[in-house]
Amino acid sequence: MKSNQKHKKCSRSFTLIELLVVIAIIAILAGLLLPVLGKAKERGNEARCVSNMHQWGTALGLYCDDNSDYYPYDGVPGDPCNANNTNYNAWFNSLPVYMGEQSLCQLSQAGQWPTYKSGKNGLFICPSALKKSASVTSPVNTIYYYSLSVCLHEPGSTHVGYRRSSMTSPANTIVFCEEVEDTFPETHGQYCGARHFGGSNFVMGDGHVQWIAFKDFCRSANVNGPGGIVCPSPLGQLQWDQSGINGDWKNAVVYHWWPFIGANSAAGG
């Protein structure tokens, strides 16, 4: 005769200690995963920045083709369409047309400032940058994320640029850079930051884009390295404006800012 008594199923709940252990394990796994995800995101940002640099590099080459091989003007801080037209031929106004984009002056006048968050005019913005808009309060405070090397024109003659063909070592000479998010549209080795994994992306004289570690492009008192580190030896002993065999073209230097030995004659190259 079968029993009509119902068998109760055994059930067991988590104890408080077991629950705390599970939470701790989840926290540990999250702690291990978040840095990996953050690094992957930054890799994506860097890839987009490299794409921007490739396009600026191509535009720079096309500009040189159309202007007897001369580089464009590097520009002055302040309003990109300043009243006396100082910035008329600056790179941020003369290069965008080669990419089918509006100049920075045109964007400023239309109130359409480049901004990463909106996804508009992304060529002007590096997604890894801390500031996400090219305008803080007014055109006078225009922020630059990319810049032209100041070493591409004759000392004291900002509108007399060097020719692309004057470069002694195009593959190792910097022409276009990542700026440190300030109001200057040009830069040099003493004031150039390290935005991606201890280095920055550069367009070189032959047109290719290359990531270079901070220690290999910095000069003298540059403190824009990872964590604000100072430019280390041996480049830390070189002044940015020395373009001779004891400066930018010294044996220890792999990547040059000046296009040829003695380019900055005022510094006694």
- pTM for the model stands at 0.81
φ, ψ of residue 203 to 5 degrees: the values are -95, 125
Rounded to a whole number of angstroms, the CA Rg of the chain reads: 26
Q: Which two three-digit tokens encode residue 2?
A: 């079968």
What mean pLDDT is reported for the chain? 84
pLDDT score of 34 more than 90: no
pLDDT score of 269 more than 50: no
Residues 8-16, mean pLDDT to the nearest whole number? 61
Residue 15 resides in a domain = no
| pLDDT tier for residue 268 given thresholds of 50, 70 and 90 | very low
Match 């996400």 to its residue by tokens.
Answer: 132
For the chain, what is the domain count? 1
Residue 118 resides in a domain = yes
Residue 130 resides in a domain = yes
Residues 75-100, mean pLDDT to the nearest whole number? 88
Highest mean pLDDT among 26-30, 111-115, 150-154, 230-234: 230-234
Give tens-digit pLDDT for 90-148: 999 999 999 999 999 998 888 888 876 655 568 898 888 877 677 666 777 888 999 99
pLDDT for position 267: 42
Residues 80-91, mean pLDDT to the nearest whole number? 82
**Rounded Cα–Cα distance for residues 94 and 97 (Å):** 7
Residue 13 resides in a domain = no
Give tens-digit pLDDT for 202-253: 999 999 999 999 999 999 999 999 989 999 999 999 999 999 999 999 998 9
Stronger pLDDT, 149 or 88, i.e. the higher one: 149
Share of the chain above pLDDT 90, in %: 51
Residue 74 resides in a domain = yes
pLDDT for position 120: 59
Residue 101 resides in a domain = yes
SS (H, E, C) the chain: CCCCCCCCCCCCCCCHHHHHHHHHHHHHHHHHHHHHHHHHHHHHHHHHHHHHHHHHHHHHHHHHHHCCCECCECCCCCCCCCCCCCCCCEHHHHCHHHHCCCCHHHHHHCCCCCECCCCECHHHCCCCCCCCECECCCHHHECEEEEEEHHHECCCCCCCECEHHHCCCHHHEEEEEEEEEECCCEECCCCCCCCECCEEEEEECCCCEEEEEHHHHCCCCCCCCHHHCCCCCCHHHCCCCCCCCCCCCCCCCCCECCCCCCCCHHHCC
Stronger pLDDT, 4 or 234, i.e. the higher one: 234
Residue 17 resides in a domain = no
Task: Give yes or no for a contact between 200 and 211, defined as CB atoms under 8 angstroms apart.
Answer: yes
The parent domain of residue 178 ranges over 23-267
Give tens-digit pLDDT for 42-62: 677 888 899 999 999 999 999
Is there a cis peptide before residue 234, judged by omega within 30 degrees of 0? yes
What residues does 200 pair with on adjacent strands? 212
